[in-house]
Structure 1
Amino acid sequence: MKRFAPLLALFLFSCGGNPPENEAAGAARLGQAAPGFSLRSLDEKSHRLSDFKGKVVLLDFWATWCPPCRASTPALGRLHRKMAGKDFAILSISVDDAAAAVRPFLEKEKVEYLTLMADSDIQSVYRVRAIPTFVLIDARGFIAKIYQGFAPEMEVEWEKQINRLLPN
């Protein structure tokens, strides 16, 4: 049996298989069309990614219990105000378990951009492995950039990339 162990190991590791459970078929990839979705806002209205067709969109996957996510909120607010009147939208997608945790945070931080509640599939579809994760989608609906984590200098990077992607 010892003789066959290396061959068995090689066979098991070289065989193809299903993608990991956290990677849905058709999951988001850089340069590909952003997967569509429909999520509910805190007021229970349904919003689809396709509602923002023709706009540059920054998806923000976050949670109230995540310190880097909370640190990114003021930067996102400034970006939202700087880009007012342009073909740009921030869609903040909370992965918190309940809207009851999200509402007080948004009120305290005076968040003005659209906040949606994640469903059971959105994180796997967008390959969110850590939060915060930011997905920048161009006006044609293709994924232009994916950022994991947050650092203050990202605000300048976002603005530069968004201005580059805005339709003329």
Structure 2
Amino acid sequence: MRRLFVIASVLILSACYNAPDPGKTVSGGGPGMLAGAPAQSFDVRRTDGKPDSLARHRGQVVLMNLWATWCPPCREEMPTLERFAREHAGTVVVLGVDQGESADAAAAFARERGVTFPVLVDEQQQYGRAYAALGLPTSVIVDRSGHIVRGIDGPMTLEQMRDAVAPALKHGAS
């Protein structure tokens, strides 16, 4: 029985976090994660019920973060994402995309942690499948023209977030 518990625990944790090197560029997976490819977008709702999608933010640099409330690395990364969003307000749009949970669960999580950036609810996990997320959290940096700059598997530090968006901010700056 103990052995079964250990195996189940390892599987659950590896499903949530599958990145031995936080902040690395994702090179595998589907075409949705290839640098330079058009970013795929799906119509979903925000926790406030308003419709939103990645495509609605075309013309802006976007850091899209796929996460879930049950994921420990996602929970740990959230304050850093919030700090980054506040620090880059007006230059980078941060979109949190909750994977596979209800709007109520995502809203409660965001409220408890003081999240001010938009939280989208992707109950069908369309974004996770399209971007071939290897685990959670997964982030995708999208430039102003709607193309992927890079994908990052695993949680990032504030410095890694800054470094990840820098090329998109430089390219096409007005």
TM-score (norm 1): 0.77
Q: Which residue of 2 aligns with 1:164?
A: 167
Q: CA–CA distance in 1 between the matches of 2:130 and 2:167?
A: 26
Q: Which residue of 2 aligns with 1:48?
A: 53
Between Structure 1 and Structure 2, the one with more helix by share is 2
Q: CA–CA distance in 2 between the matches of 1:96 and 1:70?
A: 16
User: Structure 1 residue runs of 4+, over 6 Å off?
Assistant: none
CA contact (8 A) 2:38 2:147 kept: yes
Q: Secondary structure of the equivalent of 2:163?
A: helix
1:70-102 CA distances to partner (integer Å, 9 max, x unpaired)? Answer: 11111111111111122x101100014212222
Pairing 1:73–2:52 present: no
Q: Which residue of 2 aligns with 1:9?
A: none
Q: CA–CA distance in 1 between the matches of 2:62 and 2:86?
A: 14
Residue 141 of structure 1: how far off its partner (Å): 1.1
Q: 1:115 aligns with which of 101, 105, 119?
A: 119
Q: Which residue of 1 aligns with 2:136?
A: 131
CA contact (8 A) 1:36 1:49 kept: yes
Equivalent pairs counted in the alignment come to 142
Q: Which residue of 2 aligns with 1:83?
A: 88
In the alignment, structure 1 segments of 5+ residues that lack a partner are: 1-22
Q: CA–CA distance in 2 between the matches of 1:104 and 1:36?
A: 25
Q: Which residue of 2 aligns with 1:33?
A: 38
TM-score (norm 2): 0.74
Q: RMSD in angstroms over aligned alpha carbons?
A: 1.8
CA contact (8 A) 2:34 2:150 kept: no
Pairing 1:103–2:122 present: no
Q: CA–CA distance in 2 between the matches of 1:53 and 1:60?
A: 16
1:99-132 CA distances to partner (integer Å, 9 max, x unpaired)? Answer: 2222221111110000001142222111112000
CA contact (8 A) 1:28 1:35 kept: no
1:44-89 CA distances to partner (integer Å, 9 max, x unpaired)? Answer: 2111222111111011100111010011111111111111122x10
Q: Which residue of 1 aligns with 2:15?
A: none
Q: CA–CA distance in 2 between the matches of 1:145 and 1:132?
A: 14
CA contact (8 A) 2:96 2:118 kept: yes
Task: Please tell me the residue identity of whatever aligns with 2:115.
Answer: V
Task: Please tell me the residue identity of whatever aligns with 2:155.
Answer: F
Task: Please tell me the residue identity of whatever aligns with 2:52.
Answer: H
% of aligned pairs identical?
A: 29
Q: CA–CA distance in 1 between the matches of 2:148 and 2:96?
A: 16
CA contact (8 A) 1:57 1:90 kept: yes
Task: Please tell me the residue identity of whatever aligns with 1:143.
Answer: I
Q: CA–CA distance in 2 between the matches of 1:107 and 1:78?
A: 15
